[in-house]
Structure 1
Amino acid sequence: MPAGPIRAFINLKILAFFWLTAALLSVLANLNGALDIFLASLFYTEGQGWSAAGAAPWTWLYHWGPIPGIGLALFCFVGVIAGFFSPSWARMRKPLLAVFLTIVVGSGLIVNGVLKPYWGRPRPNQAAEFGGLMDYRPPLSPGIPGAGHSFPSGHASIAFALMGLIALRKTRPRAAGLGVAGGMALGGLVGLARMVQGDHFFSDVVWSGNIMFLTAVSMDYLVSAPSLFRRWKNITRSKVCVFCAALILSAAASSLYYVLVHRAPYYESHSQGLGLGKQRGPVYIHLDEPYVDAQVIFTQDGRQGEQGRVHVTSWGLGERNAGVALKEYREVKDGALHVRCTIVRSGRFARLDHKVILALPPAMKGQFNIHFVQ
């Protein structure tokens, strides 16, 4: 083990203190959203939106920032396999396995598989403070599953995954130190790019780094713990135990796959302007699917449409590629306007609910009668 800064940098206690302090500061600063909102406002211009979103180097970081983490995962996978056949790779098998599991479990499962789709935190470009229609949510306040995929940052997580190289601290301490430093730097840059693009808050990036660091430390401990491997060797001596373990793992993996792929949360809103400025007769809003709620709101918000706008919000559980589109057409019968909204599904849904809102400017209050029809 080398002396000096590398030894200190890869010391788990120092890293743990750094990341836990960052997490605590993030939570305290974002109890009322002040820090998140302030930092996001630096990249947002009223009337222009996120003007630097499509500029270099942010687009480059968005597209290429995850590549080192993906390449590292492939390299570690090949290295683990090679460790069973090559003596020179055998002593690297456990550290490489820990790095591989850090990327797969941390970024693949925890961040992108579970938290992003189920946490329900709107992105900055979906928040009302920046021209969106959703309310800002603090980082540790779960919302409706599927209603926003902001927490935590998926792109930053795969960039932070280089910190998994901390598993090499005993065999390759210099590589471990460089990996952790590189992971922090790359993750921070990719996270900054996602903030500039209006897709993530500062706290999303910080918590992405926290999760990847804690996963890296956990995988390193689990893989390198001698007692665990001794128990595993004792178990594998019995063919019955091996069969039962394989059966349990297969069932767990299949169940997890089914839930993540076929029961993914879905949440999306569609709206359509109606142009009701000259309407005097009754208005009928038809939806071809049952809905759980329908209401009329009167608002001065120009985003709702100065001449009236119908909003249909859909949420539920379905396949990951499932989606909903809204088709609307109008017809006039005996002076009454009928607005017919058709829900067009793509993919399969296990459950899908809808809410209909007709947004009107206050000047239209009492101008005509409104009816919702299922």
Structure 2
Amino acid sequence: MQQDRPFRSFWILAGCWVALLLFFCLFPAADIGFSRLFYSTTACAPGGVAGQCGIFALGEIPLFAFIRTVLLYLPVVAAIALAASLLVPAIDRRLDWPEISRRNRLLALGAWIIDTGLVVNLILKAYSGRPRPADTSIFSGSLPFVPAGDFSGACTSNCSFISGEAASAGWLFCLLALIPPHARRFVFWPVLTLSIVTALLRVFFGRHFLSDAVLAWLSAIIVFELLAAFFGWNERNASDKRSAA
């Protein structure tokens, strides 16, 4: 019965992902309207079209740019730490993390590689064709806006659908599953907050639409749950270790 939980979670979350995609596809004004909240119109240079010149002002503030840079590398640091925890014990067993099973660590690392690396960056962002908000004519760019899930856009590479950073942020939230339950409650809200802020900053800066961030964030959890369902997640490992001691 324990193995049924990840499968149930996967199907529920996958259903939510499809429902959200349909919503943003049918109501593209939701994407446009949310991005407008962070867009400031400015005076146009000669030759510009009045009302279509402006910037995403938060992205121009050094403090916010610095925060984004720090948050960008947090999932990378976490992935490197997981990889090291799997490789280094082969040299010195004393450097292992016995409270977290090797299978769990391997599944977590695999989820990041599959979702952020393969699905998001190598497939969707490469072939979706969706221009980023700042590149659309709505927000001072030159390309036409296309809704989420529409692959007919004029973007040719590193496109907006979906957000790689938001996917990594969602994966960072998934790592809470690696933490023993008795300690998880102390870091749940800080990690969740950092994860959500990381995803939303891409929207605030005009680099992604809300749908790109939400769907990417959710995709990481979906892949994580799918791998846990197929290969097994040892949730009781930490408590078993404490009991054995």
Q: Show the counterpart of 1:74.
A: 80
TM-score, normalised by the number of residues in structure 2: 0.74
Decide whether aligned partners of structure 1 residues 57 and 118 sit closer, same or farther in structure 2, where only a CA change above 3 A counts.
Answer: same
Q: Show the counterpart of 1:52.
A: 58
Measured in 1, the distance between the counterparts of 2:15 and 2:78 equals 25
Decide whether aligned partners of structure 1 residues 191 and 225 sit closer, same or farther in structure 2, where only a CA change above 3 A counts.
Answer: closer
Alpha carbons 2:170, 2:217 under 8 Å: kept: yes
Give ranges in structure 2 of 5+ residues lacking alignment.
43-53, 235-245
1:224 maps to 2:232: yes
Letter aligned with residue 221 of structure 1: A
Q: Show the counterpart of 2:137.
A: 128
Measured in 2, the distance between the counterparts of 1:178 and 1:224 equals 26
Q: Show the counterpart of 1:36.
A: 31
Alpha carbons 1:159, 1:183 under 8 Å: kept: no
TM-score, normalised by the number of residues in structure 1: 0.50
1:118 maps to 2:124: no
**Cα offset for 1:66?**
2.0
Q: Show the counterpart of 1:346.
A: none
Decide whether aligned partners of structure 1 residues 165 and 147 sit closer, same or farther in structure 2, where only a CA change above 3 A counts.
Answer: closer
- Once superposed, what is the RMSD of the aligned Cα atoms? 3.0
Q: Deviations over 1:100-122 (max 9, x none)?
A: 11222211221122211111110
**Cα offset for 1:220?**
2.2
Decide whether aligned partners of structure 1 residues 123 and 174 sit closer, same or farther in structure 2, where only a CA change above 3 A counts.
Answer: farther
Measured in 1, the distance between the counterparts of 2:228 and 2:176 equals 8
Letter aligned with residue 55 of structure 1: I
Give ranges in structure 1 of 5+ residues lacking alignment.
1-10, 227-374
1:205 maps to 2:188: no
Count of residue pairs the alignment pairs up: 214
Aligned residue for 1:49, secondary structure, equals strand
Which structure exhibits the higher relative contact order, with contacts defined as CA atoms closer than 8 Å and separated by 6 or more residues? 2
Letter aligned with residue 92 of structure 1: S
Moved more, 21-30 or 158-167: 21-30
**Cα offset for 1:148?**
6.0
1:65 maps to 2:71: yes
Measured in 2, the distance between the counterparts of 1:152 and 1:178 equals 31
Larger radius of gyration: 1
**Cα offset for 1:218?**
1.9
Decide whether aligned partners of structure 1 residues 182 and 221 sit closer, same or farther in structure 2, where only a CA change above 3 A counts.
Answer: farther
Decide whether aligned partners of structure 1 residues 190 and 168 sit closer, same or farther in structure 2, where only a CA change above 3 A counts.
Answer: closer
2:178 alignment partner, one of 144, 149, 168:
168
Letter aligned with residue 23 of structure 2: L
Q: Show the counterpart of 2:46.
A: none
**Cα offset for 1:24?**
2.1
Q: Deviations over 1:126-169 (max 9, x none)?
A: 11211222221111111356266101111222222213325537
More strand by share: 1
Measured in 1, the distance between the counterparts of 2:136 and 2:152 equals 13
Aligned-residue sequence identity (percent) comes to 22
The 5 Å alignment of 1:133-152 reads 133-143=142-152, 146=156, 149-152=159-162
Aligned residue for 1:192, secondary structure, equals helix
Q: Deviations over 1:159-212 (max 9, x none)?
A: 22213325537xx22456667655543232122211121110000001111210
Measured in 2, the distance between the counterparts of 1:36 and 1:155 equals 18
Measured in 2, the distance between the counterparts of 1:65 and 1:142 equals 29
More helix by share: 2
